[in-house]
Structure 1
Amino acid sequence: MRRILATFLLACAFGVHAAPAVVQGLVHGTGPEAQRFPWVRTDDAKATDRINQFLFIDTFEAMAPARAGDGLRGIEAQNWQRMPNLGYVVLRNDGRVLSLRVEGEGCGAYCESFTAGHAFDAATGRHLSPGDLFTAEGLADIARKVHANNAARLRKEIAALGSKARSKDEEREDKIALYTECLTSRQDPAYQKIEAMGRMEIDAKGVMFSQGRCSNHAMRALDDLDGFSTRFTPAQLGPSLTPYGRALLLGEGAAPAPASPFDQVLHGSIDGKLPVTLRLEPLRNDGSAAATYFYDRYRKPLSVFGKYRDGVLLLEESSDTRLRLAPDGAGLRGEWISGQKKLPLVLAP
């Protein structure tokens, strides 16, 4: 009896593995050029909302519809003009981790393909960041291996280009110059601090970290390497994982999620009366921070930018409107300030 009770209490404290999520494709347009975007449904309504809100806000700067049946009608036309191609792939969906890749083409002054990897704790809907899954020492070790792998690939390509011909070839020389400059810049400690491991993507075979290509848009035709990626198997990752990471990625044991509000979607209210939703971006190495928030009634995005310093997150919306917040477990607590007016603001997952 005591053993059963202990197991029950552990499950309540740390959560249990959920059933695989149902991922439904919402469609905009018709025919082979129709854009598709994921709508996720889990056994837990709160986790479902956390996942869908994150995906929609991150991709469209728009709140997710209340139901899958509402589709993509609420997405403004300018979003589709900026993203003429959009699709997704489910990479892992095993009840512990839901991982998706959103991919397509984004257009501004010119069009570029893009990919965005998103992984979630399937039971709670928490968006997973490298700091959730890996220890500080593990992150540093992974970063060293990623940068070493990228440098080795560049050196190999430079050597191969150098041995291809003895006669002068302008395009070959331009490629060598491109990759040599890229190698030099990526060995700069400042670059490695900013880029760290790059973009994380989780699938059934392990974790992959990716970084962008060497070339800008104008020089892309010269760049045969495209992006860089380094894959780690579960066995390779084991020593670098936190207890929470081991529970999610390997299914070993149980552990609570980190209590951090960064890189999450939070819900709450201003003055206890005005419901709001906020998507807080990951904290950058220099302490700069950004977020998008919505008054739930109006569902229009408001962008705020600022700094996190000495435990205080100060985000400015305009010259006289700002948010002054402090982490409160996995949420935030503080004030919405406009001129001389100050109202309490409380946010939680």
Structure 2
Amino acid sequence: MRAFFLAFAAAFACTAGAAPLADQPRSYPFKDQQGDDAVAKLPWIVGGEPGVAERINAYVYDAFLHTLPSADAKAIGGMIDPGTMSIESNGISPVNGGRMARVSLQLSACGAHCGDSNFDYYFDVSNGRMVEALDVVTTDAKARLLPKARKARSVTMQKHIAELRKRFKKGKDKSDAEDQLILYENCLDNEEQATAGDFGHLGIRDNRLVLRSMSCGSYSVRSIDELGDFEYVLKGDEMRPYLNPYGRKLMLGEGDAPAPLVGKSAQLYKGTINGNLAVTLFIGDSGLSASPSPQAHYYYDKHRKQIELTVQRQGAQLTLTERDNDGKPSGVMTLKVSGARLTGEWRSGAKRMPVELAAY
């Protein structure tokens, strides 16, 4: 047991002088779905190299609660969705030889249905930045994986259809088997139906890449859908052809490629508007690529209230637009991208203020 603990701690210690990353969950009071008093326990990461834990906390609170970390427990509790029953931190764990860390939470909530959901966030322990599949794979990885994933899904369905036919002949669960045969045969024959939820998500799961497709059956037939969502999983050497140099370093421990200046999947920026208003900006997915992305928002750090933005990019210029409750533009940031820095101005009507931000 002692040897295991020492190995676990060593996986998170970046240098001999750095304390290992650890979770010291914080409790936040809130009203649950019934209006009763409840307490949410969210991760609060400490240790690691300077700045690493702070960045991890910022990314987690932004992604999970849509706010920024704060010592004000009441304010954080007020950000919790009214349908929430409970939130529990499952702590921080080393993955991929300690080069990465996984922060996990469990959410119990009620909407149309009640249920539990698990949320896993992955980080580069050397800098505290969030890591998703887009950060570690080549630009054409998904396109190259898609035919293989479709073929694997087709083979799985064909095998299941053969098993269903055997059941049908033997008279076992004949009615359900017949309904399932119709479902899966239609899915194989109907290209539009087969690709309706076609491998829309490529993700990281510890030391694996996972390309996931939704079930070809609608929600109304989920009760007879024995296959459900399909996953095409790559691990070890299977991943290598699809990983970029940074991905091979993190996922396989090969090479020493530096982290990119800006994350492709999620990037926080810290800086100021008008030199004295501290702000935090999030740009996700393709927001910094040639394609527009709707995933952007920012905060005035003092208030920590998320302000949604739409994103457009032309060359090295980003245009981020915020809108009022009627959907009308209420403010625009025009920023020049220069490596890890964004500079430009915020304007609303005749009012203009300079903006300076740096990747966090």
TM-score (norm 1): 0.77
Unaligned runs of 5+ in 1: 1-14
Matching residue within 303, 316, 335 for 2:345: 335
The residue number in structure 2 matching 1:123 is 126
Q: Which has the higher contact order (CA 8 A, sep 6+)?
A: 1
Residue 81 (structure 1) aligned with residue 82 (structure 2): yes
Distance 1:154 1:104 in 2: 32
Pairing 1:317-332 to 2, within 5 Å after superposition: 317-318=322-323, 319-320=328-329, 321-332=331-342
The residue number in structure 1 matching 2:252 is 250
Query: Are the structure 2 counterparts of residues 334 and 157 from structure 1 closer, same or farther at C-alpha, using a change threshold of 3 Å?
Result: farther
Unaligned runs of 5+ in 2: 1-13, 31-37
Q: Note if contact 2:133-2:204 (Cα within 8 Å) is conserved in structure 1.
A: no
4+ residue segments displaced more than 6 Å = 15-19
The residue number in structure 2 matching 1:9 is none
1:169 Cα shift?
5.2
The residue number in structure 2 matching 1:26 is 26
1:122 Cα shift?
0.5
Distance 1:112 1:215 in 2: 21
Distance 2:58 2:274 in 1: 23
The residue number in structure 1 matching 2:303 is 298
What RMSD in Å do the two structures reach over aligned CA positions?
A: 3.5
1:277 Cα shift?
0.9
Distance 1:215 1:27 in 2: 40
Query: Are the structure 2 counterparts of residues 81 and 116 from structure 1 closer, same or farther at C-alpha, using a change threshold of 3 Å?
Result: same
Does 214-223 or 117-126 show the bigger shift? 214-223
Query: Are the structure 2 counterparts of residues 80 and 138 from structure 1 closer, same or farther at C-alpha, using a change threshold of 3 Å?
Result: closer
Distance 1:115 1:145 in 2: 28
Identity %: 27
Rg larger in 1 or in 2? Answer: 2
1:111 Cα shift?
4.0
The residue number in structure 1 matching 2:163 is 160
Residue 65 (structure 1) aligned with residue 75 (structure 2): no
Query: Are the structure 2 counterparts of residues 313 and 223 from structure 1 closer, same or farther at C-alpha, using a change threshold of 3 Å?
Result: farther
1:336 Cα shift?
1.6
Q: Deviations over 1:245-298 (max 9, x none)?
A: 222222233121123354112111112111001222212796333212110111
Query: Are the structure 2 counterparts of residues 91 and 214 from structure 1 closer, same or farther at C-alpha, using a change threshold of 3 Å?
Result: farther
The residue number in structure 1 matching 2:10 is none
Query: Are the structure 2 counterparts of residues 78 and 25 from structure 1 closer, same or farther at C-alpha, using a change threshold of 3 Å?
Result: closer
Matching residue within 262, 286, 293 for 1:288: 293
How many positions carry a matched residue from both structures?
Answer: 324
Does 108-117 or 220-229 show the bigger shift? 108-117
Q: Note if contact 2:29-2:74 (Cα within 8 Å) is conserved in structure 1.
A: no
Distance 1:162 1:326 in 2: 61
1:237 Cα shift?
1.7
Q: Which secondary structure does the structure 1 equivalent of 2:120 belong to?
A: strand
> Which residue identity is paired with 1:24?
Q
Q: Note if contact 2:203-2:209 (Cα within 8 Å) is conserved in structure 1.
A: yes
Distance 2:217 2:88 in 1: 25
> Which residue identity is paired with 1:335?
E
The residue number in structure 2 matching 1:41 is 46
Q: Note if contact 2:28-2:77 (Cα within 8 Å) is conserved in structure 1.
A: no
Q: Note if contact 1:21-1:95 (Cα within 8 Å) is conserved in structure 2.
A: no
Matching residue within 228, 231, 239 for 1:229: 231
TM-score (norm 2): 0.75
Q: Which secondary structure does the structure 2 equivalent of 1:56 belong to?
A: helix
Query: Are the structure 2 counterparts of residues 333 and 176 from structure 1 closer, same or farther at C-alpha, using a change threshold of 3 Å?
Result: farther
Query: Are the structure 2 counterparts of residues 125 and 78 from structure 1 closer, same or farther at C-alpha, using a change threshold of 3 Å?
Result: closer
The residue number in structure 2 matching 1:3 is none
Query: Are the structure 2 counterparts of residues 42 and 246 from structure 1 closer, same or farther at C-alpha, using a change threshold of 3 Å?
Result: farther
Q: Deviations over 1:213-269 (max 9, x none)?
A: 445554433333333323322222223322212222222331211233541121111
Query: Are the structure 2 counterparts of residues 158 and 337 from structure 1 closer, same or farther at C-alpha, using a change threshold of 3 Å?
Result: farther
Q: Note if contact 2:136-2:244 (Cα within 8 Å) is conserved in structure 1.
A: yes
> Which residue identity is paired with 1:253?
G
Query: Are the structure 2 counterparts of residues 100 and 26 from structure 1 closer, same or farther at C-alpha, using a change threshold of 3 Å?
Result: same
Distance 2:166 2:21 in 1: 51
